[in-house]
Structure 1
Amino acid sequence: MEGTTQKNAIQNGSRNRVYIYVLLAVLVLAVFFLLMKLFFSSRTLNAHLLKDEIFLNENLVYTDNTPGAGKWMWEFGDGALSNAQNGFYRFKKAGTYLVRLTVDDKLQQQFAVVVKDTVATPVMDSIRITGPTSGTTREQLRLEAEGDAQNFEWSFGETGRVDVKGRTAFYTYNTPGKYRVALRTERSALPVYFLLTITEPDDPLANLVAPGAGAQALKDDFKVKLQNIADGRDFRGNYYYLVRKYLCNGERTKTEAQDETGQKSSDFYSYCIGLTFSKGIIIDEVSLSVVPNSQCVNLVNVQQHRLTQH
């Protein structure tokens, strides 16, 4: 009898140890999954679109720099999908689309994109508007009307009335926002529209270099912003800083880049987009040519090289 009792005690002790081991294993797994959940939930998306308002003949440029990301799903709101981290997409119809990015099947971010019809403006009596698409408050903007007309009336969307008459229009906004400029001529009962984005001048990226700084300081400032783009840092902020501060909003300014493969010519927009898709680009030197009697750069020369992979 005593032997049976001792045997049962041993079996009960073994069973209890098994229960303890199982419980410890469950606790370890629970802690592991909790830590993994906390790690992934603490990440935030670092994605952006180059522009949220484009034309039908213009590419929607998208990119994501979320730390530790390994899987992407871009949904463009018209049924099209992409699993690329960075790239571009062209819509087939004008309209407003909700673009959604899902990273690692967990993190999500949405962007509203307006796609405008590029056919309406040139067809309508061949009248079109040229000029910058963005500016700041208290900055005088200049827009030009092109086409066969005699009478031009401009409404800049801030006052609700006709603001300027004539082929060339100068206007200064007082309030930031998105404005639709309307140009009426005797050629058509319908106006031609032009979209402007106005921001406050005290952008955190603005005025980092004093206006009286020397030429070398300006070139160094330009070089730093290009290197930021090449390194995948805040494309939109660095790109528009350079466009507004140095190029007078000239996104198509001629740009020549020289590296170990030779010299390539393009416009500034295309060059910067190319930097986002390149890896290991080092900007060595930047030289700027300025339009006489102005502060607008009309030629950008870049010396660069690519880091060798070992």
Structure 2
Amino acid sequence: MAETTTSGKSVSSNSQGYIFLYIFIAIIILAALIFLFKSSVFDKRTIDARILRNELSLNEDLVFTDNTRNAKKWIWEFGNGAKATSQNGTYRYLKSGSYIVRLTVDGELKEQFPVTVRDTVAAAIDTLVTISGPTSGVVDEEVRLEADGKASQFDWSFGETNRVDVKGRTALYTYHAPGKYLVKLTTDKSHRPIFHTIFITDPNAELETDMVVPGEGERKVIDDIRARLQAIANGADFNSNYYYLVRKYLCNNEKVTVNVEQDSAKKATDFYSYCMGLTFGGEIVVDEAQLTISPSSTCATLVNIKQHSAKTVKK
């Protein structure tokens, strides 16, 4: 009887041991499931980016930075066709207005920031150096600027390439596209950069502003406009193509209405916004562009565009 009782107690102890083991294993599994669920639901990676200021003057830098966890790839789009692929940096606008800065991290995380650029130039202070030279010039002709003051290092950025273009007290530079540029001079003696605004025009383009009236080369006009818009959509230089169209066909009115028909959808916008949209609107093919011209002038009052997405098969 004693042996039987001892054996019964042994079996009971073993059963309790297995129960505790099963409970322990169940707790481990449950903890692992909770961790995985928390990681997938609550610890999803979010974008961590910012810009230093959202209101700027024309000669002030937009400072941008991203601290997204484990980020590998960045695409900053500045709302005017310009892009950057660095994690942090600066960018300067050449035209006042309202822009939307868009950031895409690793091709999936997205954030956007509204930016307003004022048509004013912040005064450069605390500097012993000034810039002397012309405030206007023409395309493909050399511009000469001089730095006046005591310094030993002079770095000139002429605003067309977004980099240092010339070093030295005297700077010679040739612009290749018309527009309004902000020249930046940085020296070893100035606390802040010194700025100089210069307007570049294209006399040859201005001589070609005679409109071709409907019925006399209308196809030439249509093909010319379509080709310029397609160049913008394909990533070609924005300023040269945009200002060519504005001067030649719109009498410098960037707010001319544009009716756009794309993939059976229609919308109306202004010419500047439409062209800006081409720079970040995806793969666009411009099929046709026509103008409505004011009877009393050679200026277009309406632009009609037909286009389609390159990803859509046209029938």
Greater C-alpha Rg: 2
Does TM-score exceed 0.5, indicating one fold?
Answer: no
Which TM-score band (shorter chain)? 0.3 to 0.5
Report the TM-score, using the length of structure 2 for normalisation: 0.40
